Amino acid sequence: MNKRNLMIGIIALGISLMCLIPASSAGFTPQNNALPDNFDFSDNYYTVYGGPDVSANIVGDNEFYRGDSVTLNINLMNKGLITGFRSEKDDDPIDVLDQKLQQQEMSYESQRTTAIGIVAILTSPDPNVEVKSGPQEAGSLAAGEQTTSPVMFNVEFSDNAPSGDYPLILSLYYGYQKNVQVSGDNETSLGVTNMDVGLWYDVGSQNVTIPVNVKKEAQFEVTNVSGQLVIGEEGMLHATYTNTGNEPVKDAIVRISAANPFSTTDDQAYLGDMDAGESSVAVFKLKVGDTAIEKPYAINSEIKYEDTKGHVSVSDNVKIKTQVSASSNSYAGGWMLPAGFVIAALVIGAIVLYIRRKPGKKPEE
């Protein structure tokens, strides 16, 4: 076997892969390599059909929660097959040398199904799922083989990702043996003398859909806040919680974190059972410190509940946005007339009406 021709084929394959895979890790379109100058089809006995067929699947669970950051482990397997072949020497006389060369060529042609130097790139068409990893190398796989260790990609799910299926696209690029030529001088008892083997490699690609799922779950949001909180005083805060997710909950309890300038001995409230879209009001007694400033504040809270499978879960942080006032006579967004001013205005109005009455006859008895 001529090692020089084999080495030229391997180098050409490496250059092709380097040209086709950009540094930015973006997708690309494979290009067919031109026929090598040293590849002479006059000694090509067969055209063989088929090639690598790489499949992929996630190892482990493919269901996640919104807001998760996970590592996907993806297993690759080559199911490549030789689907057929065509003889290129039907009209030529077949001598012993040709028979030996044909046998040699066919043995090399069987390697056509091997995927060489696999490079995997995972992308997400949906902005709610972001792939944080670039291209991953997976080595070479002969037909029937699978990766000894999975290729790994870091994936993040948006906090606002709706539940449902999200198909990820795994693009696979690899080299494979495109064709083989053999030639030799004579057939002897020791084999073919001066046998020369030329291997032509090309670049193949496949796209495999990797399905991942965002689980249904409860999600909470404060949809209304009422009550008056005054600097230096104790007041009641009413917060309406709505289950904006798509799963019901049982025995929901909300707990607030009363940080400065707030303090409380009443940091929990019972919300009860809440279907998707249903609301419940929590009431808290809060003391506002004397050093507080008249401005909006946000109070952290979280909800502990039982899901549909009986598991106890705790929600993400939910903020209660409220306003601290300097005086109980003030509105958060306006002002209030002092009571004395209102009374004075009424008295003045009555005097004006009395003065404007014209003198006249006494009313008849």
pLDDT at 8: 40
CA 204/CA 173 separation, integer angstroms: 6
Instruction: Choose the weakest-confidence range: 45-49, 62-66, 215-219, 325-329.
Output: 45-49
Question: Helices marked H in 137-253 — which ranges?
Answer: none
Closest CA to 86 of 66, 109, 69: 109
Report whether pLDDT(32) > 60. Answer: no
Per-residue pLDDT tens over the stretch 291-342 = 999 999 999 999 999 999 899 999 989 999 999 998 765 443 333 344 444 4
CATH 3.90.1640.10 applies to domain 15-21+33-212: no
- pLDDT class of 9 with cuts at 50, 70, 90: very low
Report whether pLDDT(14) > 90. Answer: no
Q: Quick one: average pLDDT of 191-219?
A: 84
CA 305/CA 310 separation, integer angstroms: 9
Asked if 240 and 284 touch (Cβ cutoff 8 Å), the reply is: no
- Amino acid at position 28, single letter: F
Fold of 218-323: Immunoglobulin-like (2.60.40)
Instruction: Choose the weakest-confidence range: 101-110, 277-286, 309-318, 321-330.
Output: 101-110
pLDDT at 365: 42
Domain with CATH 2.60.40.10 in the chain: 15-21+33-212, 218-323
Contacts by residues 147-153 (CB-CB < 8 Å, ≥ 24 positions apart): 147/75, 147/76, 147/77, 150/59, 150/73, 150/74, 150/75, 150/76, 151/73, 151/74, 151/76, 151/120, 152/71, 152/72, 152/73, 152/74, 153/71, 153/72, 153/74, 153/122
Mapping DSSP to helix (H, G, I), strand (E, B) and coil, where does residue 12 land? Answer: helix
pLDDT at 179: 75
Tokens of residue 336, six digits = 């209030």
